[in-house]
Amino acid sequence: MSSPESSVIIVGGGVFGLSTAVWLARGGYKNVTIFDRCDFEKNHYNPSNGCDGASADINKIFRATYGSKSHSQDLALEARDIWLEWNRAIKNTDPSELPDPLTPEDELLTLCGVFHLADGPKLIDLYSENLRVMGETAPSFRDLQFVKNTYSDERRVNSLGPDWVKKYHRFDTFRNGRTNGFLDAGSGITLADKVMQRFFFYLPWANFYQACVYARHLCLKAGVKFILGRPQGEIKSLIIDESGSSKRVTGIQTQDGLSHNADLVIVACGPWSSTLIPDAHRSVEATMGTVMFVDVPSDRQDLRTRFHPDNFPVWRFLEGEGDSINNLDSAYEGGGFPITKEGRIKFGFRARKFTNFQDHPSQESLKISTPRTKYSPDPINTVPLYGLKQMKRVIGGLFPELTEIGFTDSRLCWYTDSIDNEYVKNQLERNPDRFTPLWKWRTVEEGKICNGLEEGETGPRDMSKLKLASPQDFHFRVNSSL
């Protein structure tokens, strides 16, 4: 069991490692050290600067509705308060006291709404269920959701003003109107009203990685130590004491050959976690989604205005169902964001996720799905052709005005299930709460399905079996190979 006197090592300085550290340090823990192979002090979590964790990303969706999963909804609403507090704190901080590259003008969150869109004329069950649950648990927030192609909702949205009317009609012509869904306008209009605020979606427009820069700044202020960069910050192995009746981790060894002891070692490495803890490979698996970008040139002010968050919501589109790799040719689950200040529009696709099985670095005859990115020893700078083809089909239909520019960059986004928030501290101190059963260590019986994929290295979604896109495939040309 841990207490403020315990020494704590956190392996991984992304959003989970940082949030765990800040809550421990603020809770009185005096000896918390974060290790990471990325030198965040120099690269500021910038994804074009050597960072390939999911935390180092230009933007993320922050949503408050999770259907019947009330624990997720409650976490999101609590986190919302903290995001807003950070926004205010940054605004009120002297520029000289903010960490590079943050300025007081930077908002970590921008509230711009989200459009949940799906194929076909009739509202899909998932969306009806979302609206129903919201109506029951948070009726004032349900009042800010507007079902597409519904006369009464079209009248209601008018009361929010012309920008929201534009957002409500933004997708009307797509597929000759044969789409359904709802606009969630829970953002921006009644910020003064604290009660209403509880149920908003919060959608970061500014670079998400700036949130990590700020969280690291808060960690430093709270006394958290950092050992960053290669080789000193890169973990080589866990130090394990096997002398007692059970195995115990007593520290870590880093690539510079040094050993660091601690009463508690927390591994917060996202999709790299099973690389360090082979025992976890059946309960956390690295899977990859496809991300594409369109960089809108600065002389295209028309497009920069059109996709600005004042005029354009985050969107999501669903078509078809299932995840069977054999019969999923028209299924779609993906979405996109408003443009960033730098002119970058991001699109994601995750109807089909991919894996990359490799030999485990320390455990003999074990193969695990292992992230491979632009910055891996065996770097990759493209995406699976399958995801790209589906994205061109849907995004080309939604935004024909972007097809002449084409995709200008790509990213493989590796992720896995993980934990965060100050409730982590309760688990460390053995104070049971509602999250204890959800976050406990889970063992998996051989042969039991645990994470939904479980196809292993012979499965069809492994990278070794995928066709990868070539640079020409990034264009939307009529005669492209797609």
Closer to ligand NAG by Cβ: residue 257 or 447: 257
Nearest approach in angstroms of CB 5 to ligand NAG is 9
Q: What are the tokens at 244?
A: 């007692």
Q: For residues 434-457, b (16+ Cβ closer than 10 Å) or e, as one string?
A: ebeeebeeeeeeeeeeeeebeeee
CB closer to ligand NAG out of 267 and 339: 267
Closest separation in Å from C-beta 252 to ligand NAG? 11
**Residue 10: CB minimum distance to ligand NAG, A:** 13
> Of 135 and 223, which CB lies nearer to ligand NAG in the complex structure?
223
* Closest by Cα among 322, 452, 331 to 386: 331
232 vs 480 by CB, closer to ligand NAG: 232
Question: Amino acid identity, residue 199?
Answer: F
3-state per-residue secondary structure call for the chain = CCCCCCEEEEECCCHHHHHHHHHHHHCCCCEEEEEECCCHHHHCCCHHHCCCCCCCCCCCCECCCCCCCHHHHHHHHHHHHHHHHHHHHHHCCCHHHCCCCCCCCCCCCCCCCEEEEEECCCCCHHHHHHHHHHHHHCHHHHCCEEECCCHHHHHHHHCCCHHHHHHHCCCCCHHHHCEEEEEECCCCCCCCCHHHHCCCCECCCCCHHHHHHHHHHHHHHCCCEEEECCCCCCEEEEEEECCCCCCEEEEEEECCCCEEECCEEEECCHHHHHHHCHHHCCCCCCEEEEEEEEECCCCCHHHHHHCCCCCCCEEEEEECCCCCCCCCCCCEEEEECCCCCCCEEEEEEEEEEEECEEECCCCCCCEEECCCCCCCCCCCCCCEHHHHHHHHHHHHHHCHHHCCCCCCEEEEEEECCCCCCCHHHHHHCCCCCCCHHHHCCCCCCCCCCCCCCCCHHHCCCEHHHCCECCHHHHCCCCCCCC
Nearer to ligand NAG, 31 or 311 (CB): 31
| Minimum separation from the CB atom of position 260 to ligand NAG (A) | 7
**Residue at shortest CB range from ligand NAG:** 7
Q: How far is the CB of 21 from ligand NAG (least distance, A)?
A: 14
Describe the crossing of helices 15-26 and 208-221 by its angle, rounded to 10 degrees: 30
Closer to ligand NAG by Cβ: residue 4 or 278: 4
Query: Is the CB of 117 or the CB of 249 nearer to ligand NAG?
Result: 249
Q: Least Å distance between CB 194 and ligand NAG?
A: 41
Beta bridge partners of 462: 355
Alpha-carbon torsion (157, 162, 164, 168), positive or negative: positive
CB of 255 to ligand NAG, least distance (A): 19
CA angle in degrees (0–180, nearest 5) for 209-428-279 = 80
Q: Closer CB to ligand NAG, residue 250 or residue 255?
A: 250
Nearer residue to ligand NAG within complex by CB, 248 or 341: 248
What are the residues facing 295 on neighbouring strands? 344
> What's the closest the beta carbon of residue 2 comes to ligand NAG, in angstroms?
12
Residue number, 5 or 321, with CB nearest to ligand NAG: 5
Q: In angstroms, what is the minimal distance from the CB of 410 to ligand NAG?
A: 42
* Rounded least distance, CB 219 to ligand NAG, Å: 16
Q: Which is nearer to ligand NAG, 31 or 253 (by Cβ)?
A: 31
- If the CB atoms of residues 261 and 436 are measured against ligand NAG, the closer one turns out to be 261
Give least dist CB 7 to ligand NAG, A. 3
Amino acid at 451: N
The residues of the shown chain that bind ligand NAG, judged by CB under 6 A, are 7, 31, 261-262
240's tokens? 């394990």
Q: How far is the CB of 227 from ligand NAG (least distance, A)?
A: 12
